Chains A and B, each alone.
Chain A
Amino acid sequence: AQKVTQAQTEISVVEKEDVTLDCVYETRDTTYYLFWYKQPPSGELVFLIRRNSFDEQNEISGRYSWNFQKSTSSFNFTITASQVVDSAVYFCALSNPGYSTLTFGKGTMLLVSP
């Protein structure tokens, strides 16, 4: 069975602080895919990144960066110089190849105050 754990329920930071959201996953599959989604108050899940299990390179996209470590089964997400607009619930998710049903974690609510 697959499982995604986001141990941080809620994080509060002040604007311009850096913040890291943790994600730990469990799977018996050798090939799998990891995702991060953002859910703003409007409710619509917004895709941020997809990473496959064979690619452990870290990725940076603007203020966002992701650290994938297979050895610790973790796929952490860092926002540099956070902004108020980053306030949302962030979900980490896991899927297999194929029709790609997503298994989500419980999410981390990020509150960025001015």
Chain B
Amino acid sequence: GAGVSQSPRYKVAKRGQDVALRCDPISGHVSLFWYQQALGQGPEFLTYFQNEAQLDKSGLPSDRFFAERPEGSVSTLKIQRTQQEDSAVYLCASSLAVGAGEPYEQYFGPGTRLTVT
């Protein structure tokens, strides 16, 4: 079946431009996560959605970062007035559900590599 897809795969933006990164999760997956992965580092949590509700945005580095999932499926991560330090791979992951117990496996997309020049 189809996995998590992300578009575009590569994005080059000039400093100060706004960008929008799209994530299509696996159909039926309730949970959706965004991570930022700098070169040579592990992914770092940005934000989490359960259906259309954004339950945790504690990892967003500044108010220039905004994420939405209006219909509880596709999600968009928007970065306004991009800066060079925003250059990274942005990973999206989805999982089947959430609960009080053992976390479900997160399925990751291929990521969007953002380069800010």
A residues adjacent to B (C-beta < 8 A): 4, 33, 37, 42-47, 50, 52, 91, 93, 95-107
Q: Is B45 in contact with A98, judged by CB distance below 8 angstroms?
A: no
B42 neighbours in A (Cβ, 8 Å): 4, 91, 93, 104-107
With most chain A CB atoms within 10 A of its CB, the pick from B44, B55, B106, B110 is B106
* B residues whose Cβ falls under 8 Å from a Cβ of A: 3, 31, 33, 35, 40-45, 48, 50, 55-56, 59, 89, 91, 93, 95, 98-111, 113
A99 touches B98 (CB 8 A): yes
Structural contact, B102 and A98, CB atoms closer than 8 A: no
A33 to B41, CA, bound (A): 21
Pick from B3, B41, B55, B104: contact of A106, CB under 8 Å: B41
Query: Given A43-B89, A104-B43, A106-B41, A97–B101 Cβ distance below 8 Å?
Result: yes
Write out the residue numbers on chain A whose beta carbons fall within 8 Å of the beta carbon of B95.
100
Pair A98/B91 contact, Cβ less than 8 Å = no
Bound-complex Cα distance A96 to B41 (A): 21
Residues of B within 8 A of A93 (CB): 42
CA distance A44 to B45 in the complex (A): 16
Pick the contact of B103 from A33, A46, A104, A105 — CB < 8 Å? A33
11 CB contacts below 8 A, A to B, read: A42-B110, A45-B108, A47-B107, A97-B99, A98-B103, A99-B50, A100-B104, A100-B106, A101-B33, A102-B106, A105-B42
